């Protein structure tokens, strides 16, 4: 679907991309990773038509983007960028409706068909219930779902994601990527995601392209391209690759000399945090019965205990340091 | 007046899609706003040192517009209504509509709440043009052939073109550069005017009078000269209303949604500047209208430019017509400069709306 051939591009006579070749098919999710300044965002800017290439070509289904105007581009490509700003006082529905803009003529207003498409997009992204909320009142995760819904409302063939989850918490990151992967499969979207989190990239992508110094240095399945020597060379940081316990996808763990944890630091074990009841019941980390006698729950938080006398010192992950 | 609280949207307790905004669905709103503006204009014509009953005013106006006989009226009333007050009210309405409409368009393109029609140098350019004529031997104090309005018009357009040209990088004109170059061009213009005022101190009062602006020299001719530019701007800019909504996202997102941002910028800013230049050349510099009327409209009717642009036009007209009535009637011995009135009336009302806006969200919803 997307074919990038021998692409050279840059700003102010400085070339940032060198001889980039890339193909993405419908229903395929490609993650682009690489250190800061490696040209990932420049690549996205060229593919969206914001930046004109110095040499080489970008084509959608064989049509060169130089032969497409902005409106035609917007009907093929939708972008979900990191921390995209949304204008105040517009409702979520109105913002998703803006996704229909490339399908409308100058004087034309949105009609019944546009509502249907917007509704389907918002229901699919679980944002239909947010439709009358003003965008400035949405949480980060809700905003991102609204932006993904707007991208779907464009009815694109290619979805470009620029660090779409960098400001979301763990659960929302997983949700967003799961959603994008499902959409990729269901709607036969080609997806290109620029991702900083190597673990997330390896967890969801069908293919990973690693960029460094404006070139693509590796392109293949996560298992094939994520290896310790490549990552180390590209990022300049020693790493160890371990397989995910259930999916066996690679996880990148930095090998780094961390100073020992200060033994005098105080900690709250999870037991002492007033977790919601539903969480507590299924919490595998909570040793049953413990802590209840100390008056946990009802919002009461016991005094911080010195780490060494804490009851769950056996499991480092169960500790939240303050 | 009970204003609707800002953007009170129905809760999503049913499954309906929110109502769509279309040009057709907004027609009744426009019609009401137009009627309100007409009513304000009729009362403004009736109001003055000689009070004329509104129904008489209406009859005289209808008589002149349609030629229909609407009963006998004294020649004095006829002259006051049709020759003195009507041109003044019409011109004030046109200028108010233009400034507010252009202000809304500028704010839309710049995505900046402080943008106003003078930000790109229209006002400073027009002042330089007008001042150069006033200090030159060409200056004719008043009259139809006064070269001051055309010079102001030309000065305004030169200043905007200069600001636009200076902000240009390749084929892109970043809005931040545009604001900064507008500010720079404006300060050069203002300095020039200040210098000319001091250098030609016999003409200082005339210059000051022009700058403060007003409608005491309004004629049908002036209105007729300015009208085509204003209509052209409205006809060209209005179709971009939905595009301006999309541009509120930011330029990158708008481009990714298929908006040709550079073309939109040059068309909308060019037309708004043209109309503003025409308005300034016939009325002098009247501040505040272009800044606050669009905000008032947004606070009450929400941010959709299909509402903001036309309603700013109508309410800008009403606002300036009322301000002009106050300017000419509040002190029988002296006409208060209209810019003073717009600021004194507008600022407190604007602050009141702003305070309502800034209540905590829990109180609003």
pLDDT 10s per residue in chain B (365 long)? 334 444 555 555 567 888 888 888 899 999 999 999 999 999 999 998 888 999 889 999 999 988 877 777 788 888 899 999 999 999 999 999 999 999 999 999 998 888 889 988 999 999 999 999 988 887 765 555 678 888 999 999 999 999 999 999 888 888 889 999 999 999 999 999 999 999 998 889 889 888 888 898 888 988 999 999 999 999 999 999 999 999 999 888 999 999 999 999 999 999 999 999 999 999 989 988 999 999 999 988 999 999 999 999 999 999 999 999 999 998 888 888 898 899 888 888 778 877 776 654 443 33
- From B321's Cα to the closest Cα of chain A, the distance in A is 30
- Residues found in chain A: 322
A148 vs B19 pLDDT, higher one: A148
Q: Taken in order B270, B276, B279, B284, is the CA torsion positive or negative?
A: negative
A226 vs A269 pLDDT, higher one: A226
> Which pLDDT score, from 0 to 100, does residue A273 have?
54
Whether A85 sits inside 8 A of B6 (CB atoms) is: no
> Which pLDDT score, from 0 to 100, does residue B271 have?
95
B235 at interface of A, judged by CB pairs closer than 8 A? no
Cβ-based neighbours of A198, under 8 Å, separated by 6 or more: A33, A226, A231, A252
A267 vs B34 pLDDT, higher one: B34
Where is A255: in which H helix or E strand?
Answer: none
A215 C-beta neighbours (distance < 10 Å), count: 15
Q: What values do phi and psi take at A190, rounded to 5?
A: -85, 130
Q: Report yes or no: A199 and A252 within 8 Å, Cβ to Cβ.
A: yes
A317 exposed, middle or buried (CB, 10 Å; 0-12, 13-18, 19+)? exposed
Where is B125: in which H helix or E strand?
Answer: helix B122-135
Minimal Cβ distance to A98: which of B12, B245, B255: B245
Closest CA relative to residue A174, chosen from A209, A134, A201: A201
A287 pLDDT above the threshold of 50: no
- Share the mean pLDDT of chain A: 83
pLDDT band at A298, cuts 50/70/90?
very low
Q: Report yes or no: A225 and A208 within 8 Å, Cβ to Cβ.
A: yes
Interhelix angle B86-110/B220-237, nearest 10 degrees: 30
DSSP code of residue A136: G
Respond yes or no on whether ipTM tops 0.90. Answer: no
Closest CA relative to residue B160, chosen from B129, B175, B182, B127: B182
Structure tokens at B228: 């085509």
Whether B259 sits inside 8 A of A101 (CB atoms) is: yes
User: Given the structure tokens 């105040």, which residue do they identify?
Assistant: A88
Nearest chain B residue (CA) to A46: B256
> Which pLDDT score, from 0 to 100, does residue A271 have?
52
Residue A139: half-sphere exposure toward Cβ, Cα within 13 Å: 6
Strand A2-11 to strand A14-24: parallel, antiparallel, or no bridges (unpaired)? Answer: antiparallel
pLDDT band at A299, cuts 50/70/90?
very low
Q: Taken in order B67, B73, B75, B78, is the CA torsion positive or negative?
A: negative
pLDDT band at A10, cuts 50/70/90?
confident
> Which pLDDT score, from 0 to 100, does residue B9 have?
57
Whether A111 sits inside 8 A of B256 (CB atoms) is: no
Q: What is the pLDDT of residues A194-228, one digit of tens each?
A: 998 999 999 999 999 999 999 999 999 999 999 99
> Which pLDDT score, from 0 to 100, does residue A230 have?
92
Measured between alpha carbons, how far is A287 from A314 in angstroms, rounded to an integer? 11
Q: What is the interface size between A and B, counted as CB pairs within 8 Å?
A: 108
A113 at interface of B, judged by CB pairs closer than 8 A? no
| Neighboring chain A residues of B360 at a CB cutoff of 8 Å | none
> Which residues 50-79 on chain B approach chain A with CB closer than 8 angstroms?
none
The pTM score is 0.84
> Which residues 149-168 on chain A approach chain B with CB closer than 8 angstroms?
154
- From A86's Cα to the closest Cα of chain B, the distance in A is 5
> Which pLDDT score, from 0 to 100, does residue A51 have?
86
B20 at interface of A, judged by CB pairs closer than 8 A? yes
> Which pLDDT score, from 0 to 100, does residue A30 have?
96
> Which pLDDT score, from 0 to 100, does residue A184 have?
94
Structure tokens at B303: 């941010």
B227 vs A141 pLDDT, higher one: B227
- From A248's Cα to the closest Cα of chain B, the distance in A is 37
């Amino acid at each position: 679907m997307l074919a990038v051939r021998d692409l050279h591009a840059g700003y102010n006579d400085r070339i940032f991309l060198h001889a980039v070749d890339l193909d993405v098919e419908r229903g395929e999710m490609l993650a682009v990773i690489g250190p800061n300044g490696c040209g990932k965002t420049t690549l996205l800017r060229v593919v969206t038509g914001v930046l004109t290439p110095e040499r080489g070509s970008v084509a959608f289904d064989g049509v060169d983007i130089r032969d497409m105007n902005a409106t035609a581009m917007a009907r093929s490509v939708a972008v979900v960028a990191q921390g995209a700003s949304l204008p105040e006082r517009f409702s979520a529905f109105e913002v998703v409706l803006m996704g229909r803009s490339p399908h409308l003529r100058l004087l034309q207003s949105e009609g019944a068909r546009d509502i249907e498409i917007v509704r389907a997009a918002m229901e699919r992204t679980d944002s239909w219930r947010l439709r009358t909320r003003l965008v400035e009142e949405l949480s980060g995760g809700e905003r991102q779902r609204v932006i993904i819904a707007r991208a779907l409302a464009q009815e694109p063939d290619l979805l470009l994601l620029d660090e779409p989850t960098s400001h979301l918490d763990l659960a929302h990151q997983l949700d967003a990527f799961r959603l994008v992967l499902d959409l990729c499969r269901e709607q036969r979207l080609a997806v290109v995601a620029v991702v900083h989190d190597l673990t997330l990239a390896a967890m969801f992508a069908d293919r990973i392209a690693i960029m460094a110094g404006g070139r693509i240095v590796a392109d293949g399945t996560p298992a094939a391209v994520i290896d310790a020597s490549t990552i180390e060379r590209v990022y300049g940081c020693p790493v160890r690759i371990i397989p995910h316990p259930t999916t066996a996808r690679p996880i990148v763990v930095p090998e780094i000399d961390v100073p020992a944890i200060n033994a005098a630091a105080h900690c709250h074990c999870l037991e002492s945090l007033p977790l919601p009841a539903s969480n507590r019941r299924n919490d595998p980390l909570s040793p049953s019965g413990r802590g209840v006698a100390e008056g946990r729950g009802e919002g009461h938080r016991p005094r911080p205990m010195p780490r060494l006398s804490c009851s769950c010192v056996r499991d480092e992950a169960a500790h939240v340091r303050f | 007046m009970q204003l609707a609280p800002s953007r009170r949207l129905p809760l999503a307790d049913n499954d309906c899609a929110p109502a769509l905004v279309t040009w057709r669905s907004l027609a009744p709103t426009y019609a009401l706003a137009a009627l309100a503006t007409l009513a304000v204009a009729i009362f403004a014509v009736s109001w003055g040192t000689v009070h004329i009953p509104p129904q008489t005013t209406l009859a005289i106006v209808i008589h002149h517009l349609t030629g229909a006989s609407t009963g006998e009226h004294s020649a004095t009333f006829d002259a006051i209504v049709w020759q003195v007050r009507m041109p003044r009210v019409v011109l004030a309405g046109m200028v108010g509509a233009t400034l507010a409409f252009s202000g809304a368009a500028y704010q839309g393109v710049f995505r900046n709440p402080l943008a106003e029609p003078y930000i790109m140098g229209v006002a400073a350019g027009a002042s330089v043009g007008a001042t150069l004529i006033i200090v030159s031997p060409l200056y004719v104090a008043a009259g139809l052939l006064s070269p001051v309005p055309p010079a102001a018009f030309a000065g305004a357009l030169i200043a905007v073109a200069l600001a636009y040209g200076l902000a240009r990088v390749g084929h892109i004109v970043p809005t931040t550069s545009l604001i900064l170059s507008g500010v720079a061009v404006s300060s050069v213009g203002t300095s020039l005017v200040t210098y000319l005022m001091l250098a030609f101190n016999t003409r200082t009062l005339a210059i000051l009078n022009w700058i403060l602006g007003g409608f005491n020299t309004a004629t049908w001719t002036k209105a007729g000269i300015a009208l085509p530019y204003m209509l052209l701007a409205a006809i060209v800019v209005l179709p971009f209303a939905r595009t301006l909504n999309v541009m509120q996202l930011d330029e990158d997102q708008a481009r990714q949604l298929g908006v040709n941002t550079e073309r939109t910028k040059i068309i909308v800013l060019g037309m708004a500047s043209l109309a503003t230049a025409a308005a300034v050349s016939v009325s002098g510099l009247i501040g505040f209208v272009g800044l606050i009327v669009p905000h008032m409209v947004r606070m009450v009717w929400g941010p959709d430019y299909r509402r903001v642009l036309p309603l700013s036009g109508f309410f800008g007209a009403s606002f300036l017509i009322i301000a002009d009535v106050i300017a000419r009637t509040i002190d029988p011995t002296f006409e208060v400069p209209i810019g003073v009135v717009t600021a004194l009336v507008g600022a407190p009302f604007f602050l009141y709306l702003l305070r309502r806006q800034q209540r905590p969200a829990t109180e609003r919803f």
